[in-house]
Structure 1
Amino acid sequence: MEVLPALLFIAIQFILLFLYPLQPAMSRPHNNFTDLESLLAFKASVADPYGLLATNWTANASFCSWNGVRCSHRRQRVVALELPDFFLGGSISPHIANLSFLSHLILSNNTLTGPIPGAIGRLPRLVRLSLANNSLSGPIPLRIFNMSSLVKVSLAINNLSGSLPSDTDPPFMLPRLQFMSLSNNHLTGSITPNFARCSQLQVLSLSFNNFSGSIPPELGNITGLNILYVGSNQLTGTIPASIGKLSKLNQLSLGNNYLQGAIPEELGNLLDLQYLRLDNNSLTGSIPMTLLNASKICTLYLSENNLTGSIPATLGVSWPQLEFLNIHTNQLTGRLDFINSLSNCRNLQRLILSKNKISDFLPDSLGNLSTSLNNLVLNSNYIKGIIPSTIGNLSGLIGLYLGENELTGEIPSEFSRLKGLQGMFLYNNRLSGYIPPELGLMTGLNALSLEENALSGTIPYSLGNISGLQILSLAANGLFSSIPDSLWRLSGLLLLNLSGNTLDGSLPQQMGNLKFFDKLDLSKNRFSGNISSILGNLQKITYLDLSNNSFDGEIPSSLDRLVINVEYMNLSYNRISGTIPKSFTNLGKLYSLDLSFNKLQGPIPEGGVFSNSSIVSLEGNPALCGALKLGFSPCPPPSNSKSNLHLLKYILPPIVLVVLLLSCFCTRLIFLRRGKKLKLPSEDASLNTIRVISYRELVRATDNFSKANLVGRGSFSSVFKRHLDDGLITAVKVLNSENQSALRSFDAEYYVLSKIRHRNLVRIISMCSNLDFMALVLQFMRNGSLEQWLHSHNYYLNLLQRINIMVDVSLAFKYLHHYHPHVVVHRDLKPSNVLLDENMTAHVSDFGISKLFLGDSQSILSATAPGTLGYMAPKYGSTGKVSRKGDVYSFGILLLETFTRKKPTDAMFDGELSLRQWVTRAYPSTVLEIVDPDLLKESVDIQREPSSPIIVGQCLSSLIELGLSCSRDSPQERIQMRNVVPKLQKIKNDFLSKSPRS
């Protein structure tokens, strides 16, 4: 029996001895299984819309062969996960930290959301971390700043927030770090001096964030630094002189901050520096001569500062590789002798020195500059003397800007060699002589601006050969003779300004070829003859000035076709006779009609523009009558002969009887219709009464417009709140009467508000106007503007309130665009123009730049201010086209702002990223990551139960989708406001029907 235990012991020893060599092999599958689990967890957490992982990450193949996975040869452990540009959404699984051999994690250029897992900080071998260009949010885990193996970190272009570790945080230890990019996020706080501990750091990019405070001087100790970007933040203080110790620095960007003081002379020690941006700060002093020692500079931006002194004369010799030099908008003085040295810069492309105080002659050496030069911008200085003909040697020139100087002499005919020139701006100088006919050879020209000079002679016939010309301004010169017929062949011409010359002749029929005319100014010349009826063909024109000429005859009836777009018409100081066409009452978009000092006669038409004395000017026509409020005598009754009296005895009684019967019928009909209108929800009977308020009452009601009653102040007006004598609370909007734009704003706003009535539009109570004072008395809104409710810390709107406000605004625009007799385009919809009354009902306000036009017109061209950047439709600023679709775009942006609480003008939306692009990138998979997080936390009259977040999420997703539909780049793809209203109401009804009530 004792033999059995002995045999058992020997067997166990044999088994252990046999298995011992296999132990490492058995442990490897266990560790590999951990890697497999981590990869599968990662796959489960991300969205793979194109199936790039699904088709390859399968159990049929070893994970070491999966897309983006790289394993070590010896142990078959995952050492790299590289999935850039895979269109992945979702979040990053914290299980990725279990890939303990991982050295490269590259997930850039996807749409990942959520936070960066803090567990990544446990990867002991991680060398490269690249999560750039995603939608990651939250703070950067502090552990990342204590990973001793990290060499390259790129977290740029995300939505990361929070601050960088300070001295009191866990240790900042990145001894091997060479590359750190955190740009284009929402990081705040100060730039930590701890980066100075990264002795191997070569690239540090922190631009386009919200960092504040000063630039740490300790950064000057990172001796191996090649690139330092900290521009577009909120940094203050001075530029540390210690940056001059960064001897290997190649690129330095500190622009778009609030830096002060002088440019440190120590920057001249940066002998490898090629790119330097210090623009848009508040720097003072002169350009340091020591900077010339940085002989490799290619790009230099010093614009928009307060620099003084002169530009160093040897600049071009010192910087032979210079390509871009931009020093505009400073206080620089001195001479232009540095241009001589710029001939040494054979790669120079842009030279921008505008808006300084440079006073010197243009040197002939301008013609020796590089043929690569495409923009020469010297306008708004005190440059004098003649224009060198050698500029004609600059064959690569696209834009030539020499306006607003003191140049004399003639325009060089050698400019004709500039075949690629698109814009030539020589306005507001003292140029004389003829306009060279050779300019007609510049076939690439789009804009030619020669106004406000002393040019003489005739307009060259050859200018008609520049087929692509869109802007031609020759105003305020001494040109004479007639307009050459060739100009009327320029079918693409948008603006023609020939005013202030001594041109003569009549208006030819060929003028009708210019179908796209926006502005025609022929005023202050010697034109004569009838006003051609062909002008009626210019139906896109918004500005027509034929004043101060010798036109005669009658106003052609064809001009009534200009009703579509015309905003300004001036026919004053001519010899025009006849009557004013009654069709002029339909010129609904006019802000100025001047027919004064002619020979007009007969009755002044009633209604339309003639009901507003601030728009129409008719003085100097003594034979006109009617329109008592315009200062004219009543029209005399028609002469009564005996035969007429005899005839009236027989025909008058039946006429009177018929009129009485019709009056009774119409009175009854009006009474019935008014009774029905009172039932319409969009109309308010209280809006029909306009009170008359005197200037004295306004002074008394506002305590002589004291600061205590000041509610707000804008560029055109100030708004006061006060109780009137009858207890009515009003907003008194006092216009700046010295500002011409304010005058137009006042006219437009009163004209529009006096014609529209809707419960969601601010009601006008009265106006008060004289030569020195203008004020609108408006309905007061107790709850202020949507702007303060969205972007002030002590205000909050819940989800339902925001939906209701958007419904109110959409109803207002549905009425303006589709249900008013005249289409009204607001043009400046933004949160500050949406006001809230005591019941939180929204009212659209501020019609100062609105457009009111007849019929159902789709668009017009406008030369006036287009609205507010960020809310203005793309390309509107360049085309000037006004349409209802522009308001729809603004509404879409307003909708996105209301539910994300992000302004389109926020610092994060700078350059190539806009609010709409930011939202589009998140929609639909991660839309809840970009909406106002407070909306996801509230109950909004919903019981706190599991279904509530789903209901809120569905509602927000539908609202964001509608905002994107309204704000599409193409106007044709935007929906109409009449279709927006039912969509919004459906979203609201679905939200309320699915929400359990408490």
Structure 2
Amino acid sequence: MALTGKIPHDFGNLTFLVSLDLRRNNFHGKLPQEMVRLCRLRFLSLSFNKLRGEIPSWFGFLEQLQVLNLGNNSFTGSIPPTLSNASRLETLVISANLLQGNIPEEIGNLHNLNLLFMEHNQLTGSIPFAIFNISRIEFIAFSNYSLSGNLPNDFCNRLLILKRLHLSQNKLHGHMPTSLSNCSQLQTLSLSGNEFDGPIHSEIGRLSNLQRLYLGSNHFTGIIPREIGDLVNLVILGVEMNQITGSIPISLFNMSSLQLVSLGRNNLKGSLPREIGNLTKMQVLYLYENRFIGEIPKEIRNLVELEELNLQDNSFSGSLPMEMFNISGLRVMDLTLNNLSGTLPSNIDPKHGEKQFNLQRFDLNNNKLTGFIGDNICKLQHLGEIYLGQNQLSGSLPNCLGNVTSLRLIYLGSNKLSSNIPLNLGNLKDLVVLDLLSNNIVGSLPPEIGNLKVETQMDLSMNQFSNGIPREIGGLQNLEYLSLRHNKLQGSIPDSMSNMIERISYYELLQATDSLSESNLIGSGSFGSVYKGVLRSGTAIAVKVFNLQLEAPFKSFGTECEVLRSLRHRNLVKVITSCSNLDFKALVLEYMPNGILDKYLY
């Protein structure tokens, strides 16, 4: 209800209150001590507010309390052990706060606990083993902080009705517990982002109710056990970024319920079997950075629900399966860094019956493709990113390319493309990157190139462009990188280009100033702050960061770019560059730290 202010002390007078729900408001401050008098309270939810201070120890005196939800606030300090005195607690949610310290062993005394959420805090230490003795617990979430230690081998012996276990993004280690199969009701198991090692036990196949299995970003070794195919209800399988070897067991391709499979960045090998076509509900398939070989099976066309396909950095060979272009819902196709050969599809049906293609990212960089790009690619009217660089494509750029107005990134470098740049390329008002380097493109640079107002990177180097540089290119004030080297351009550099201050990327600037740390702050003023830093080249810089909460800096930024270009000072040599995007604007100047900067900078 968008209520604000502090929770009144008078709430303590509501001694007959059984349920108090103040969720999703803007209450702030500490909880009033008088609430300890709410001795009949069973339900208390204060989540999604701005409450702070320590969690009161007097919660332990609310003996009738069954539900306590303090999630998504700003509580600090440690978890009070006295919470265990509220012995009737069934739900305890203290997630998304700023709590520190260890999880009290006494929490294991809450024998009626059904749901325990403590994720997204700053807790440390190990998980108290006593928690694994709460036989009624169904949901445990300790994700996203710095818990360490291992899981006891018998931790599932009493958790017979546990349905969800979230332990991701911690520092837990050791082997996968052998008693895991005893958690027979488990639906979600998340161990990702830890330091678990050893094999994935075959016993995992006995968790017949499992729907989501997250094991990514650990140190698991060995193979994917064939018993994983017994998980007939599995919807999500994530084992990416481990040290898994061997091939994908054929049993996995019979799991018709799978919707997401992520096995990237392992050492998997072998080929993909035709049975991949059995995964008809698959929406996301990530097999990137492995050692797969052979052709991509034509049966992939049966994955009619597929939205994202990432097979990059493998050794797939053969021609590009045209059948993939029958998957109308496919948004991302990433096949970069393989050995695919042949030509691009020549028979794309943009409507494909009643559905229209939704392909937004088309990535075939670093393959062995030949032939023409062709006009068919222009039928992909939702295309935002096209990566066809480092192949052997030839012929001219499609004249219709400028009609695909959704294009933002075009990478066609290191091919054998020829002919001219299409004039209608200037229609691409949202184009950010145009990379045509190392081709055989000829003719003049069209004046229409000046219409690409949001362009930040343009590489036209190592081609056969001739005649002069169009003056319109000087209007591309967002350019951070421009390369026209190794062409046959003639004449003088247009005067309009003198207004183009060399840019620096936001990430380079953060690196140079240690993320704009306070230790590098030189001074601040009404329009922003000034930081010192050092570029990778060793150049000392002063960075004026504008405060975009004010309207004036938007008007001031362009003016200062112009004024400071010619400004000289004993501590201020020249403007080196600028950094500008929708959320950040800064000027970067060469800095001689032998005095006090001009107050004008602040």
Normalization by structure 2: what TM-score? 0.83
Partner of residue 956, structure 1: none
Partner of residue 246, structure 2: 360
Q: CA deviation at 1:761?
A: 6.7
8 Å Cα contact 1:242-1:266 kept in structure 2: no
| Cα separation, 2, equivalents of 1:602 and 1:111 | 65
Partner of residue 467, structure 2: 578
Give the AA of the match of 2:66. Q
8 Å Cα contact 1:210-1:234 kept in structure 2: yes
Partner of residue 51, structure 2: 160
Q: CA deviation at 1:435?
A: 0.7
8 Å Cα contact 2:426-2:452 kept in structure 1: no
Partner of residue 773, structure 1: 538
1:448 is paired with a residue whose SS is: strand
Q: CA deviation at 1:475?
A: 1.2
1:235 is paired with a residue whose SS is: strand
8 Å Cα contact 2:60-2:86 kept in structure 1: no
Partner of residue 604, structure 1: 493
1:503 to 378, 393, 402: 393
8 Å Cα contact 1:259-1:281 kept in structure 2: yes
Partner of residue 449, structure 1: 334
Change (3 A) 1:582 1:226: closer
8 Å Cα contact 2:405-2:427 kept in structure 1: yes
1:530-679 alignment runs, 5 A limit: 530-552=420-442, 554-608=443-497
8 Å Cα contact 2:274-2:299 kept in structure 1: yes
1:715 is paired with a residue whose SS is: helix
Q: CA deviation at 1:433?
A: 0.6
Q: CA deviation at 1:171?
A: 9.7
What is the CA deviation profile of residues 631-676 of structure 1, one whole-angstrom value per residue up to 9, with x for unaligned ones?
xxxxxxxxxxxxxxxxxxxxxxxxxxxxxxxxxxxxxxxxxxxxxx
| Cα separation, 1, equivalents of 2:144 and 2:348 | 43
Q: CA deviation at 1:250?
A: 0.9
What is the CA deviation profile of residues 361-405 of structure 1, one whole-angstrom value per residue up to 9, with x for unaligned ones?
12222211132x221112222222112332221111111111122
Q: CA deviation at 1:277?
A: 1.0
Give the AA of the match of 1:366. L
Q: CA deviation at 1:471?
A: 1.2
Give the AA of the match of 2:310. F
8 Å Cα contact 2:43-2:66 kept in structure 1: yes
1:814 to 555, 567, 572: 555
Partner of residue 183, structure 1: 71
Q: CA deviation at 1:607?
A: 5.0
Partner of residue 460, structure 1: 345
| Cα separation, 1, equivalents of 2:527 and 2:94 | 45
Partner of residue 173, structure 2: 284
2:315 is paired with a residue whose SS is: coil
1:340-419 alignment runs, 5 A limit: 340-371=226-257, 373-419=258-304
Give the AA of the match of 2:390. G
Give the AA of the match of 1:178. Q
Partner of residue 428, structure 1: 313
Bigger Rg over Cα: 1
Partner of residue 336, structure 1: 224
| Cα separation, 1, equivalents of 2:489 and 2:86 | 84
1:826-975 alignment runs, 5 A limit: 849-851=579-581, 882=582
2:199 to 263, 285, 310: 310
Partner of residue 212, structure 1: 100
Change (3 A) 1:719 1:314: closer
Number of residue pairs matched by the alignment: 561
Give the AA of the match of 1:360. G
8 Å Cα contact 1:145-1:172 kept in structure 2: no
What is the CA deviation profile of residues 303-339 of structure 1, one whole-angstrom value per residue up to 9, with x for unaligned ones?
222222222222132x1111111222222222111xx
Partner of residue 27, structure 2: 136
Partner of residue 192, structure 1: 80
Partner of residue 127, structure 2: 239
Q: CA deviation at 1:185?
A: 2.6
Give the AA of the match of 1:511. L
Partner of residue 715, structure 1: 511
* Larger relative strand fraction: 2
Change (3 A) 1:464 1:600: farther
| Cα separation, 1, equivalents of 2:29 and 2:365 | 58
Give the AA of the match of 2:539. M
1:459 is paired with a residue whose SS is: coil
Give the AA of the match of 1:400. L
Q: CA deviation at 1:608?
A: 1.3
Partner of residue 477, structure 1: 367
| Cα separation, 1, equivalents of 2:36 and 2:534 | 65
Partner of residue 353, structure 2: none
8 Å Cα contact 2:59-2:82 kept in structure 1: no
What is the CA deviation profile of residues 474-495 of structure 1, one whole-angstrom value per residue up to 9, with x for unaligned ones?
1110111112321122222222
8 Å Cα contact 2:160-2:185 kept in structure 1: yes
8 Å Cα contact 1:439-1:462 kept in structure 2: no
Partner of residue 221, structure 1: 109
1:204 is paired with a residue whose SS is: strand
Identity of aligned residues (%): 33
5+ residue gaps, structure 2, are 351-355, 563-574, 586-602
Change (3 A) 1:599 1:161: closer
Change (3 A) 1:847 1:342: farther
Q: CA deviation at 1:527?
A: 1.6
- Give the stretch that moved more between structures: 446-455 or 356-365: 356-365
Change (3 A) 1:478 1:468: same
Give the AA of the match of 2:395. G
* Larger relative helix fraction: 1
2:370 is paired with a residue whose SS is: strand
2:336 is paired with a residue whose SS is: coil
What is the CA deviation profile of residues 447-468 of structure 1, one whole-angstrom value per residue up to 9, with x for unaligned ones?
2111110001111224464732
Q: CA deviation at 1:431?
A: 0.8
Establish whether residue 324 from structure 1 lines up as the match of residue 212 from structure 2.
Answer: yes
Give the AA of the match of 1:544. L
| Cα separation, 2, equivalents of 1:389 and 1:131 | 55
8 Å Cα contact 1:164-1:192 kept in structure 2: yes
1:271 to 136, 152, 160: 160
| Cα separation, 2, equivalents of 1:612 and 1:811 | 21
Normalization by structure 1: what TM-score? 0.52
| Cα separation, 1, equivalents of 2:496 and 2:339 | 44
Q: CA deviation at 1:270?
A: 0.8
Change (3 A) 1:203 1:560: closer
CA RMSD of superposed structures (Å):
3.6
8 Å Cα contact 2:548-2:554 kept in structure 1: no
Change (3 A) 1:776 1:323: same
| Cα separation, 2, equivalents of 1:582 and 1:114 | 59
8 Å Cα contact 2:503-2:579 kept in structure 1: no
Give the AA of the match of 2:435. D
8 Å Cα contact 1:207-1:229 kept in structure 2: yes
| Cα separation, 1, equivalents of 2:44 and 2:124 | 26
| Cα separation, 2, equivalents of 1:312 and 1:201 | 35
Give the AA of the match of 1:850. S
What is the CA deviation profile of residues 819-857 of structure 1, one whole-angstrom value per residue up to 9, with x for unaligned ones?
7899xxxxxxxxxxxxxxxxxxxxxx9985415xxxxxx
8 Å Cα contact 2:27-2:50 kept in structure 1: yes
- Give the stretch that moved more between structures: 555-564 or 416-425: 555-564
Q: CA deviation at 1:266?
A: 4.5
| Cα separation, 2, equivalents of 1:245 and 1:611 | 67
- Give the stretch that moved more between structures: 456-465 or 445-454: 456-465
